[in-house]
Amino acid sequence: MATINSALQIMAGALNADQAALNVTANNTANASTPGYTRQVAVFQANDPVTINGISYGQGVQMVAAQSQRNLILNANIDQQQQQQQATQAQYTAMQQVQDIFNQVTTSTSGPSPGSLGDLTTNFFNAINQLETSPTNTALRQSVLSAANTLAGQFNSSAAQLTAQTNGLNQQVIGTVNQINPLLNSIAQLNQQISSASPTADAGLLENQRQYDLQQLSQYIGINTIKTENNGLTVTTTSGALLVSEGKSFDLTTGNVSGNVHIFATASGSSGDITTAQASGGGQLAGLLTTRDQSIPAVQNSIDTMAYNLATQVNTVQMAGVDQNGNPGLALFNIPATVTGSAAGISVAITNPAQIAAAAIGTGPGDNANAVAMANLANQSIIGGQTPTDFYASFISNLGSQVSGLNTLNTAQQASLTQLQNQQSALSSVSLNEEAANLQTYEQAYQSAAQFYSVLQTVVISALNLGMQTPVG
């Protein structure tokens, strides 16, 4: 037979459960704006019934869990997408700055030349073209020399700006590694806490923090994660270098390798230089490394090739002629012996305008045959099988396409990241309306339980007073 006492106990249990649920709602509401917070839902469970004389009596309710509303696969997808998107964005931002070095576009068809490397090359050949008309004119000779100096200066300055970009990227790599290490540390500590606090089930708030750290980490570096026993998490780079294992983290270090910052893993068994591997690994690091080690060197090589071929070809023609004083032509440009470093190393070798060899050997100073030959270089395929103009046009077109491609890719990756984040937010974010509704529900449940309790109390008193002259109560 059911007793009034057991009913009282049921209601006491209900009061406890409702109070716990109110706590969950309170915590959700309090953390509505906390980054990385995953909302919790109070899970009520009916107590096991008791069967007396063949009748099954319910034994009330208890709140068995505050369940975090998370989808681990969705979270992992977001991390992956984040790594890709951040890599592209970092590369896009860096390449935009590279593009700015060569960004001289026409601002007005009647205005002055925008002064790009290509324009200055044209100006140099135009100056020689002017000299053809009057090879002994000192002013025209001086213009050729000035145009050569301006061109060499622009090569130098472009090369210097590329070097500055590379240096800037090196600093960013160090900065990124400095962001990564504390996160690795934090994940290792959380691993420890989670394995002791919640080895078999979702670790709730601790899990939120660990997930949030992983999301942060995914901005910086490409990672893989593996769930281990006791709810632990092993984190490696995409190339397999161990970063976090159980309660231990293995900091990344940086070091200088032939002028560039390289990244080293420190866990024994997977230690060593991971720079090349991480260039395709994801996260900001991948974008920075790809730009530094692939994109900028390609750009550098283009302008080196242009400077080297232009200078050597002009020198060859110049040295095949005679100058205004009838002396054999000297090299017009100083240029390194190899293509590498040519843009940084090019300079004008002669200072006296009379040293420009406009005349052919065996003729007087009024001859222009060598100047004509030099001016004709402008129309010959002297740089990588192309004319100087075509070479520069392909170069800027490639550079622009690369940046524009990165922009498109970045936008697309950002859009799909946003979609994933919306899905996650739909599942895991706190909705204040929902919490208000929960508050109302649990409050009413609590009030009902309390009311029920007081009614039961009356019933108990009635029971006690059965047949009594002086009732208690």
Q: Judged by CB under 8 A, which of 354, 427, 450, 460 binds other proteins? A: 427
Size of site (CB under 8 A) for other proteins: 72
Q: Where are the alpha helices (DSSP H) in 134-258?
A: 138-197, 205-220
- Is position 270 an interface residue for other proteins (rule: CB under 8 A)? no
x/- mask, other proteins, residues 136-175, rule CB under 8 A, reads: xx--------------------------------------
Distance set, CA 434 to CA 19, 26, 32, 437 (Å): 17, 12, 11, 5
Shortest Cβ 401–other proteins spacing (Å): 4
- Is position 30 an interface residue for other proteins (rule: CB under 8 A)? no
Q: Judged by CB under 8 A, which of 67, 431, 441, 448 binds other proteins? A: 431
Closer CB to other proteins, 3 or 380, in the complex: 380
- Is position 379 an interface residue for other proteins (rule: CB under 8 A)? yes
Shortest Cβ 300–other proteins spacing (Å): 17
Q: For residues 78-137, which are near other proteins according to CB under 8 A?
A: 96, 99-100, 102-103, 105-109, 113, 116, 118-119, 122-123, 125-126, 129-130, 132-137
Shortest Cβ 165–other proteins spacing (Å): 16
> Cα–Cα–Cα angle for 447, 450, 456, nearest 5°?
140
> Cα–Cα–Cα angle for 462, 467, 469, nearest 5°?
100
Shortest Cβ 389–other proteins spacing (Å): 5
- The label of the residue with tokens 């934090």 reads 186
Closer CB to other proteins, 289 or 359, in the complex: 359
Residue type, 460: V
What CA–CA distance (Å, rounded) separates 186 from 180? 10
Q: Which stretch binds other proteins (CB under 8 A): 250-258, 273-281, 423-431, 455-463?
A: 423-431
Closer CB to other proteins, 285 or 403, in the complex: 403
Closer CB to other proteins, 19 or 404, in the complex: 404
Query: Torsions phi, psi of 3, nearest 5?
Result: -110, 160
Q: For residues 291-310, which are near other proteins according to CB under 8 A?
A: none
Pairing mode, strands 223-228 and 50-52 = unpaired
Closer CB to other proteins, 224 or 421, in the complex: 421
Closer CB to other proteins, 127 or 279, in the complex: 127
CA 330 to chain centre: 51
- Please choose, from the candidates 247, 242, 249, the residue with its C-alpha nearest in 3D space to the C-alpha of residue 199: 247
Closer CB to other proteins, 124 or 333, in the complex: 124
What CA–CA distance (Å, rounded) separates 149 from 333? 9
Give the burial string for 384-393 (b: 16+ CB within 10 Å, else e): eebbbbebbe
Q: Which stretch binds other proteins (CB under 8 A): 144-152, 296-304, 426-434, 457-465?
A: 426-434
x/- mask, other proteins, residues 385-404, rule CB under 8 A, reads: ----xx-xxx-xxxxxxxxx
Q: For residues 210-229, which are near other proteins according to CB under 8 A?
A: none
Q: Which residues pair with 253 in a beta bridge?
A: 264
Element holding 401 (H helix, E strand): helix 388-428
Element holding 261 (H helix, E strand): strand 260-265
Closer CB to other proteins, 230 or 387, in the complex: 387
DSSP string, 210-241: HHHHHHHHHHHS-EEEEEEGGGEEEEEETT--
Closer CB to other proteins, 184 or 403, in the complex: 403
Question: What is residue 38's three-state secondary structure?
Answer: coil
SS3 content of the chain, % helix, strand, coil (to 5): 60, 15, 25
Closer CB to other proteins, 184 or 358, in the complex: 358
Q: For residues 314-373, which are near other proteins according to CB under 8 A?
A: 359-360, 363-369, 372
Q: Which residues pair with 52 in a beta bridge?
A: 55
Q: Judged by CB under 8 A, which of 440, 444, 451, 458 binds other proteins? A: 440
Shortest Cβ 136–other proteins spacing (Å): 6
Q: For residues 174-193, which are near other proteins according to CB under 8 A?
A: none
How large is the greatest C-alpha to C-alpha distance in the chain, in angstroms? 148
Shortest Cβ 138–other proteins spacing (Å): 10
Shortest Cβ 352–other proteins spacing (Å): 16
- Please choose, from the candidates 114, 120, 128, the residue with its C-alpha nearest in 3D space to the C-alpha of residue 153: 120
Q: Is 364 exposed, middle or buried (0-12, 13-18, 19+ CB in 10 A)?
A: exposed
Q: Judged by CB under 8 A, which of 21, 375, 417, 445 binds other proteins? A: 375
What CA–CA distance (Å, rounded) separates 16 from 11? 9
